[in-house]
Every structure is written in C-alpha cells, then in structure tokens.
Structure 1
C-alpha cells in the first residue's frame, strides 16, 4: 500500500508556519538593525551636544587652571560609574574630570580627528569617545559606555521579540482561520459525495468555486457514464437470463421424454444439471436487479418498512402458526434502496418462518457507524461447519423444505453491495438460527 499523502490542511499549515516564521525572523532583524542605527546616531548626537555644553561651560580660573561654571545638564555625569564621563586635560595631564569617574581619569586619547566619534577601551570598558581641542592647549573629551547603548538595544530587542511573537501568533491564528475557510468547499464536496453514495442525490451540484468546477464536472460525467453502463449491464443480464430460459426449457423437456422412454439415469443427470443452471440464472438475475446503493433515497423508518413484509409473511405462513414479532424501533433510517432492503428482509424472514418452531423475532439497533438488523428463530439452527456452505448459491441443507437455495446467497451479496455483511449464528438462547445484517450508516 502506497503511503498516504499529507492533507491539504497539513500542507497549508506547514506553509503558513514557515512563511510567518521566516517573515517574522526577517522583520525582527530588519527592525532591530534600523533601530540600532537610529539609536547609535542619537547616542552620538547627544554626546556631541554634551561636548558643546562642556566646552561652553569651561572657563580659565585665576591660576590659569580651567574651571566649570556649573555641572552639565545630564545628571548621569554626576553618578559614579554611570557610563557617562567627561575630562579636560592639558599636555596629557587631567585638569578636570566628571564626578562619574569617581577619582579615575580617562586615558589620553590618540584621536587625531577631532569631533569624530571612535570606539576605544578604557579601564576594561568599551567607550564611545569624542575629543575636541580647545584654547590654551586644552583637550575636551566626552565618553559614553557601550554597555549603556547595549542595554537600550537589548531592552528594545526584548520588547520587539515579544511584540513580533504576539504578532506571529495572531498571524498563525488568522492563517488557520483562512485555511479553514478556504477548505470549506472541500468539506462540502465530501458531504455531497457521501450523500451521493447514500443515494440522497444523483449528481454533484454545479455551484462550486471555480477551482473545483473542473473536478466536479468530470465527476458528474463519470457518474452519468457509470449509471448508463450499469443500466445497460442490468438490461443485458436480464435479456441473457430470459434468452437462456427457452433453450433450458427445451433441454428439460427432452430430458423428461428420455425418462419416459426408459432412460431414467440419463434423464435424471440432465434434469439435475438443468436445475443447477436454472438456479444460477435466477441468482444472477436477482443480483442484476439489485440497485446496490444507486437508489434515490433512504428508507425513512425501518420499523414501518419491516411491518409490511412481516404482514405478508404472516399470510404466507399462516398454516404454520408461527408468531412473527416485529421489535424494530422506529426512526432508524437505512441507506439502502427499498427494493434491495425488501429482498434481504423477505429472504431472511421467509427462511426463519420455514424453520421456526413457534417464534420469529426481528430487531434492529444503531451501533457506532452501523445499522444492525437481527432476524432470529427458535428452529434447529445451522451447525457451525455448515454455515459457510449454506451461503453458497443453490445450497439447501434440507431438500424437503420448499425453496431454491438462493435467498441467503442473494441477501449476502446485496448487503455486500452496500459495504455490509450477513452473518449466521445461534440465537441468544443458543438454539435457533440468528441472521445478522450489518449495513454502514454512511459508506466509506
């Protein structure tokens, strides 16, 4: 058996998952990169503004040493090891330092391009530094720790991850709803096919989405072609049966004449073969007459349908004084052509009435996806070793009983046309025969 292909729902789900995941990942990298560039630019711009402020507030003191009129406006320069530092030096010797350096000083810069931000490492800390020479040989330096910038970027990336995760989840929910909505026509199509197979409709509706129009059209053409072939085959089978009856009748007549002329053994052999041929013809014609699920509707109420057959059997077997009990509950719908169901029930109930001592009981129930019809009698039953054989065409265990030996075989074959079964066994008391017909509610 070839492996089953993945469903469309699974394929769409995988495609949506990959697309949303890849899109979210790319969007995260792009947004994070753009924000990083923006924050870095703002970071450098703020440092340049602080450097402007530092140079404007620095004045020469009475002793020639530079003094600061007031602290810088950013309070982070006042907090020790805050990550924001400034320094004023002359000749490589620090003259003024920010409180945030906490008594330390910056290493003398080697930046030969003034007002150009560069990354340096000072006291094991990565710093973004801008230097600017001033009057009197002063060198103004302002720095910011890379950990400040990294912390801001990490905080943004964390928020971005949560936001994109929530967005991706919403996108996946939307994709799932879209897949469900998009595949709804396939579910309707499956339902229509089930109705078609049950006999509720004889073709698929033409009002389908454009993508399914070609498939539905071809299926309808196939259904119509198959119906024509089946009808033709049934007619030809019937014609063949009728055409064989005349030659068979002639052979039978000749055999009877042989018997009258004293050739009894030869006549008996020929008559036996003619009887077998007649049974085969009757069997095949009954099979050809079976609709096999190609009817136009469902039996609405099995109990009412069975009641008519039971009444007919009571009249047919009135001389045997057998009680036929119809215990089929109401409102059980059987997906079976009425003619086929009548053939099954008539054969089985008639067979039970022939062998029952006093009672024949018909019951039914719905179990899971099956409808189970039970015809039980209190007769002698059938031995285990003979049950398979009695289902053969023309097989009769007791030739003294009237019949052709076709009823059980025909009933089994008709049930099989609907995906059902016919099983024989002892009844609940362990004595008489119990025939169980099981038909699926919706054929798969």
Structure 2
C-alpha cells in the first residue's frame, strides 16, 4: 500500500477493520464467557440441589435418634477426596455424618436453620458453593462443591473459546481484506484511466463508475472539457493575432525596403531591424502556444524509432554537408511527452547540432528511475561556458553567418520547462563540440 501508507484508503480501511474486529472479538469473548459462567453455575446449583434431595431422602433417624444413611449417594465424586464435592449432616448444630470426600474433616456448621438458596462461602481457605436445608429431628443437611471445580471448567472453556474466537477473527480480517480489495478496485481503474488520459489514449473519463465516484468523475470531465475549450480558444486567438500582426508587419517591411531604395538607408535599416525582431517574437509566441496546448496528453512508446524519423528529415535538409548522424538511443525507451512537442525538441536540437558539427552528430538517451536524459552531441567548435546561458535567450545568435532565427534553443527550453524538465548545455569531455542535454521526468 507502498499502497498502505497512513494517508491511503487501503490503510484506513485496514486499521478500521482491525480495530472493529479486535473490539468485537473481545466483547464477544467477555459476553460469551459470562453467559457460560452463569450457565455452568446454574447447572452446578441444579446438580447440588438434586444431590441434596437425594441426601435428604436417604437419611433416616437410627437407634438413639442418630441419623443413618441407607446407601451412599449415587454420584461417586462424593467418595473421592480430591473431587471437590462434599456433603455433611448436622444434628443439633454438630456434625453427625460427612461424605468420604471430606476425609474426616468437617464443614463449618450452618448458622441458624440454614438457607435453601445457594451461596458462596469459605472453609479452611477453600471457596465453596453451598446449599443448606433444615430437616426433622434437629437435622441440617449441607452439600457443597469447591469453586476450583467450576473454575477448572471455566478455564477449559475460555481456552477453547479463545482459540475459536482467534480463528473467527482471522477469518473476519481475511474477509475484510478481500472486501477492501474488491471495494477499492474502481479506484485502481480510475487511476489507470487518468494515466490513459495523460497519455492521450482517452479524451474523457468513462462514466461507468460506482455512484460514489460518479459526481467526481463528472466534474473532472467538465473541468477537462472547459480547459480544452479554453486552450483551443487561446490558440485560435493567438493564431488570429499572429495573422493580424503579420499583414501590417509585411507592409511596414515593404515600406522600409522602399525607403532603402530611395536612399534613406539608416532609417530603413532601423525599421527592418525592428520588423525582424517583431517577427521573431510572433514566431516564438506561436510556437509556445502550440506546445502549451498539447502538454501532457501523449506518450512516445519507442524513443529510438521516433528519433529515426526526425533524423531522416534532417539528413535531407543537410544533404549538402557530409554529416554522420548516429542514433545511439536504446530500443524500447518510452517517454511521456506529446509527440508534437518531442518532435519540436529533437528537431531544434539536432538541426542546431547539424549546423555546427564538423562531421558527426550523435543522439543518445539515459533512462533513470525518475527521469530520462536525451543527449545531442556534435563535434563542432562548441560554445564558451560564459555564453551558454545567453544563447538560450530569445533571438540571440553567436554567428549571423550561420542560417537560423535564434529561436530554436529558446523554444526548446520553454517546451521542456512545460514538462518540469530542464535543458543544459555542456562541453564534450574529451574533445571539441557541445552536448545539449534535455532532462524530462518519466511521469
């Protein structure tokens, strides 16, 4: 719960289930144990009452009025000294007959006329459940059972109960775990749909979700539709603005050229420089608008194959130069970037490398756990370290004799930043040239 972190639903359900099952099992154990104790005590009292009835029926006055029993009680435990079951007959407040289990000892005589209700007492340090009954001729009958007999039965039952409840709790927790897993399955599907949405495989989330999520999914779809509509409208407005600016800009440029033809060279050059600057700004903002509109809505499954397509186009563009373009990207590397944005990034960097390379341009990639680095290396003269940040600014060119607009690296940097990535220019460690490194997060 990596997915079972404290802030995850799975963790919360697991803790809630554990607490509930634990508390319910504990309460069940207490209640069942108490019910069984009452039942066993009631049974003991019933057995002792029956034995007392039997003792009363078997006892008759003998010669001289002393009590005599015709036969022993039917329960053999009254014959066993270690059984914990005793009886005693008193005459005029003094013990007259006792069970063999007392081994010649006596139970403390009952006070008064005795009580037919069972009660607990202590005799010689032993806890006894006792019933007394008065009889004719000054006789008093007492029958007792040691508390250790009842305790032993309760302990045995509680041991079995604990094992049974532990197994029951384990089954309940297993069922709760399966229930949580089944209940959270829609959230896993929702996460998968969102990934597909980010990869451009879906345009909206499906409505086939549990009712608890339907409201959230509906609002997300409405939000994405509103954002898509806003971005589309912004891109249309940007295109219209660019078109509306290009027409008067073309007229101003033409007028400046006529001024140059008329001999007003200084004024014409100033106006043309400003027109070119405005044109670069228009082109730059149009490229930014196009890239921002597609952010995070696609994935490139094979970076090497994708780069081969870019290399093929640029080889035709630079066919007049004897350049070797090497694609050293491992096969099967995937990257979550809109294909249009990635094409813009690679085209700008490889084209720039081809303009400055002496003979070789190499493209490679390093895939890490959290990010992917794309490296475009050329064997040209390189860029001095003090100028590397400067060339990333809009319209900056180190050599006006080399074809270009000064927009490529700036646009590339801005597109990369849209994906929370970075563009870095480095020196080749063991020779001349430049390495343009694009770092993009894998997610």
Question: Does the TM-score normalized on the shorter chain lie above 0.5?
Answer: yes
Name the counterpart of 2:381.
380
Q: How does 1:11-410 map to 2 (within 5 A)?
A: 11-62=12-63, 64-110=65-111, 112=113, 114-257=115-258, 264-290=265-291, 293=294, 298-410=299-411
- Secondary structure of 1:290's counterpart equals helix
- Secondary structure of 1:203's counterpart equals coil
CA distance in 1, matches of 2:306, 2:261: 49
Report if the CA contact (8 A) 2:197-2:203 is conserved: yes
CA distance in 1, matches of 2:162, 2:237: 74
- Cα deviation for residue 345 of structure 1 reads 1.1
Gaps of 5+ in 2: none
- Secondary structure of 1:325's counterpart equals strand
CA 391–294 in structure 1, closer or farther in 2 if over 3 Å, else same = closer
Q: TM-score, normalised by structure 2?
A: 0.90
- Secondary structure of 2:204's counterpart equals coil
Gaps of 5+ in 1: none
- Secondary structure of 2:381's counterpart equals coil
Report if the CA contact (8 A) 1:87-1:105 is conserved: yes
Report if the CA contact (8 A) 1:292-1:414 is conserved: no
* More deviation, 279-288/247-256: 247-256
CA offsets 1:309-329 (integer angstroms, 9 cap, x no match) = 212222222333221112233
CA 40–431 in structure 1, closer or farther in 2 if over 3 Å, else same = farther
CA 5–398 in structure 1, closer or farther in 2 if over 3 Å, else same = farther
CA 302–308 in structure 1, closer or farther in 2 if over 3 Å, else same = same
Report if the CA contact (8 A) 2:113-2:134 is conserved: no
CA 73–390 in structure 1, closer or farther in 2 if over 3 Å, else same = farther
CA distance in 1, matches of 2:19, 2:297: 47
Report if the CA contact (8 A) 2:295-2:419 is conserved: no
Query: What is the RMSD of the two structures over their aligned residues, measured on CA atoms?
Result: 2.6
CA distance in 1, matches of 2:123, 2:222: 84
Report if the CA contact (8 A) 2:280-2:407 is conserved: yes
Q: TM-score, normalised by structure 1?
A: 0.90
CA 389–84 in structure 1, closer or farther in 2 if over 3 Å, else same = farther
- Cα deviation for residue 234 of structure 1 reads 0.7
